[in-house]
Amino acid sequence: MMLKRVLPMTKHLIAQTVEPGETVVDATAGNGNDTLFLAELVGEDGHVFAFDVQQAALDATSARLGTLNDRTTLLLESHDKVGQFVEGPIGGAMFNLGYLPYSDDLSIITKPKTTIQAIHTLLGLLKKGGIITISVYDGHEGGPEERDALLAYVKKLHQADVHVIRYELLNQRNNPPFLIALEKMKDFDVPTLVE
Ligand SMILES: C[S@@+](CC[C@H](N)C(=O)[O-])C[C@H]1O[C@@H](n2cnc3c(N)ncnc32)[C@H](O)[C@@H]1O
């Protein structure tokens, strides 16, 4: 299939730029699908930092990782604190916004302020040529607000610093996710984020 669905497309883009041995970030570990993908991609000499605010998510991620836990650090922290735990350069980062699938509490969702702060900090840590992928879901309560704030933020990034794409399948039902991908074009000083 030439036109990949959104989640395979995120993995395709990340796989184009992440090298074995690099450090990468899963900003929303959830059930660990992306964490496992990243752990396999960076190989035994690389490292994945995976963030989630729910212990149940980290438990599910750890179970999915199996022996690959040894190349992963699971952090029960909000992703906007990434700068306190991760040193650059990083090879790439992935976000999968919204709530934890199959959770008892679907009210725990990613929020505009912390999502944007995390992306902003990660842009500073990212290697030149690195990619940040953000799978955006807007079908749940709070989703449209996060989507709009995120789009406003990424559109303001300078085109000489970061290339920004939006990728989506336009004829799918039931609020499918769309992808925002950021490619860092050069090293630049990331300014302090002001609201
Ligand atoms: C859509 S799920 C992620 C799915 C995951 N990529 C997977 O492969 O299963 C979104 C996750 O983001 C987490 N989350 C919400 N707010 C967060 C925050 N501020 N920092 C880190 N994770 C957060 C939720 O707990 C939830 O597990």
User: Where along the chain do its domains lie?
Assistant: 6-184
pLDDT 10s digits, 68-85:
999 999 999 999 999 999
Query: Does residue 194 register a pLDDT over 80?
Result: no
Q: Is the pLDDT of residue 25 over 70?
A: yes
CATH match of 6-184 with 3.40.50.150: yes
| pLDDT tens digit sequence for 49-70 | 999 999 999 999 999 999 999 9
DSSP code for 109: B
Q: What is the pLDDT of residue 195?
A: 66
The dihedral of CA 51, 54, 59, 60: what is its sign? negative
Report which ligand 1 atom has the smallest distance to the Cα of 103.
Answer: 27
pLDDT tens figures, 93-108: 999 999 999 888 899 9
Predicted local distance difference test score (pLDDT) of residue 170 = 96
Confidence band, pLDDT 50/70/90 cuts, at residue 151: very high
Mean predicted lDDT score pLDDT of the chain: 96
Give the pocket of ligand 1 (CB within 6 Å). 28, 30-34, 51-54, 57, 78-79, 96, 98-100, 108, 110, 114
**CB distance 67 to 100 below 8 Å:** no
